[in-house]
Amino acid sequence: MANLKTSEKKSKAQSMGLHTEVLTGKTQQKFFNPDEAENFYYFGTYDVDFNKRTEIDVKNMDCREANKKIDELMKDGYGTIVIKNPQGKHSLGVGILNKLNLIFEGSLGYFGCGSMDGPIVRINGRVGWSCAENMMAGKVVIEKNAGSCFGAAIRGGDLICKGSVGARTGIDQKGGTIIIGGDAGAFTGFMMQRGRIIILGDVGINLGDSMYDGTIFVGGKIGSFGSDAVEAELTDSDQDWLKRKLKVAEIGENFDVSKMTKVVAGKKLWNYDALEPTEKKGAI
């Protein structure tokens, strides 16, 4: 584990109340020195105008060409991009670290919209496995169904599927909110660490198996609880939050949240908090 020491100079992030410790391992010193924090920027971010709109047809492009085209359009200042004919191609819309309105007129294959930080994405179709994997921030709305590993390891943002999703939804989730309008498969919330999952329909076996932390709300039937997943009391503040969230998510606004089941970690398997450095928790 990296050594920790305190920096005297406060970075912008620290002045907003985030961590005050410095990791002094070789890699961390090079890339995460808070003294350099003001100079941090994302490679590939551009000033875009949401009113500047364009459409591209990716029918005859592979995913690399399509993603490069999206990047070029953002570079030209386009803030609203419509993708026509995605036709189930894999890895479309990945690695976007920009504010952007991205609309897919059709379905995506595997790993759609992965590793993104900031865009608002609407997919007027279905998505395959591992949609929005590792998303940091932003919002993704899927109008139809989604495959397995939906929202794997997301750290922030809202990920909404209006249909049903496959197995292992929210696996290794570290933050953010996943909302499912239909049913979810087995091992939903498997090893999740932070964040919330809302399922309005039924959910399969082993719900929340080995979850470290986080909260799962289920509106329908539960196939079975996984190891260390336990039912908790649904509070008034939970219900208020659920109502707000479902309204903002354009899904289940009139759903009776008072009958939902709240599932949390029993914390009997593993003492997660004692093992995680405080600065990691801050980042999460």
Q: How many residues bind another protein (CB under 8 A)?
A: 29
Residue with tokens 């090893």: 191
Of the two residues 78 and 129, which places its CB atom closer to another protein in the complex?
A: 129
Token pair recorded at residue 206: 């082993």
Q: DSSP of 47-90, one letter per residue?
A: --EEEEEEEEE-TT--HHHHHHHHHHHHHTTEEEEEEE--TT-S
Coil/strand/helix, residue 151 = coil
Of 67, 98, 134, 164, the residue at the interface with another protein (CB under 8 A) is 164
Going by their DSSP bridges, the two strands 194-199 and 49-57 should be labelled as unpaired
SS3 124: coil
Give Dmax (Cα) for the chain: 55
User: Would you report the helix, strand and coil content of the chain in percent, each value rounded to 5?
Assistant: 20, 25, 55
**From 43-51, 68-76, 92-100, 107-115, span contacting another protein (CB under 8 A):** 107-115
Query: Which of 20, 75, 101, 163 lies at the binding interface for another protein (CB under 8 A)?
Result: 163
Angle at 237 between CA 231 and CA 240, to 5 degrees: 110
Decide whether 74 or 178 has the Cβ nearer to another protein. 178
Instruction: By CB under 8 A, tell whether 189 contacts another protein.
Output: no
Does the footprint of another protein cover residue 107 (CB under 8 A)? yes
88 binds another protein (CB under 8 A): yes
Report the 10 Å Cβ neighbour count for 154: 32
Shortest distance, position 206 Cβ to another protein, whole Å: 9
With CB under 8 A as the contact rule, the residue among 11, 91, 98, 145 that binds another protein is 145
Q: Does 173 bind another protein (CB under 8 A)?
A: no
Q: Which of residues 115-144 bind another protein (CB under 8 A)?
A: 125-126, 128-129, 144
Does 95 bind another protein (CB under 8 A)? Our answer is: no
Residue type for position 215 = T
Binding residues (CB under 8 A) for another protein: these are: 87-90, 106-107, 109-110, 125-126, 128-129, 144-148, 163-168, 183, 185-187, 204-205
